[in-house]
């Protein structure tokens, strides 16, 4: 689907807040004066730029000094919490649906979502990747692109510092086409 024929909608207050949280460390090209008012300017409530207009995030870098996150293993998490995460018994405080998006757009959306969720003090969120059926990959024993990429992105800087554990979602929440992401507590 192309965005050419779509009606433009006004982003909600939560979407604007999430965008500002994700972009708080961004500096316009050419320095702070090049992009107009600073993002924290009083009364600044302008609609955010659509994710497709955002440059793709830099290539993922492994997170230093943190163990790799893997599905089904929750290092540094007590057994009870790990089991509750795996069973989908931790209250979901947010969700993002990435399937149907291109890789660069999905990466930018995931980064903004995780940063915003962490900034808002959320603990457990659902990331929907899809299973890759549309591309025919799953029928041939291969995973979809986002299904493979999202765990890598969550293991890379800067997201890894925000994420405590990941687990495959229960069928009621999307099964193998979704992940539970347990975020660290803000300090």
Question: What pLDDT band is residue 87 in, cutting at 50, 70 and 90?
Answer: very high
Is residue 181 helix, strand or coil?
A: strand
Q: Is the pLDDT of residue 88 over 70?
A: yes
Q: Is the pLDDT of residue 168 over 60?
A: yes
Domain with CATH 3.30.1370.110 in the chain: 49-183
Average pLDDT (24-34) is: 58
- Specify whether the CB–CB gap between 37 and 5 falls below 8 A: no
More confident position, 72 or 58: 72
CATH code reported for the domain at 49-183:
3.30.1370.110
- Indicate yes or no: pTM above 0.75: no
Q: Is the pLDDT of residue 164 over 70?
A: yes
Q: Is the pLDDT of residue 94 over 80?
A: yes
For a pLDDT cut of 90, what percent of the chain falls above it?
29
Q: If you ran DSSP here, which 8-state letter would residue 58 be given?
A: P
More confident position, 51 or 21: 21
Q: How far apart are CA 13 and CA 130, in angstroms?
A: 27
Q: How far apart are CA 12 and CA 18, in angstroms?
A: 10
């Amino acid at each position: 689907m192309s965005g050419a024929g779509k009606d433009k909608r006004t982003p909600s207050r939560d979407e604007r807040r999430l965008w500002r949280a994700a972009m708080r460390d961004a500096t316009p090209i050419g320095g702070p004066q090049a992009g107009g008012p600073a993002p924290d300017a009083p009364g600044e409530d302008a609609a955010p730029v659509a994710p497709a207009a955002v440059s793709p995030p830099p290539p993922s870098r492994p997170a230093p000094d943190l163990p790799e996150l893997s599905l089904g293993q929750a290092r540094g998490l007590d057994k009870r919490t790990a089991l509750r995460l795996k069973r989908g018994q931790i209250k979901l405080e947010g969700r993002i649906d990435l399937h149907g998006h291109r890789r660069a757009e999905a990466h930018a959306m995931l980064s903004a979502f995780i940063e915003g969720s962490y900034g808002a003090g959320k603990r457990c969120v659902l990331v929907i990747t899809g299973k890759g059926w549309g591309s025919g990959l799953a029928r041939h024993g291969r995973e979809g692109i986002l299904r493979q990429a999202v765990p890598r992105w969550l293991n890379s800087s800067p997201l890894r510092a925000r994420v405590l554990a990941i687990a495959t979602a229960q069928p009621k929440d999307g099964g193998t086409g979704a992940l539970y992401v347990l975020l660290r507590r803000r300090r």
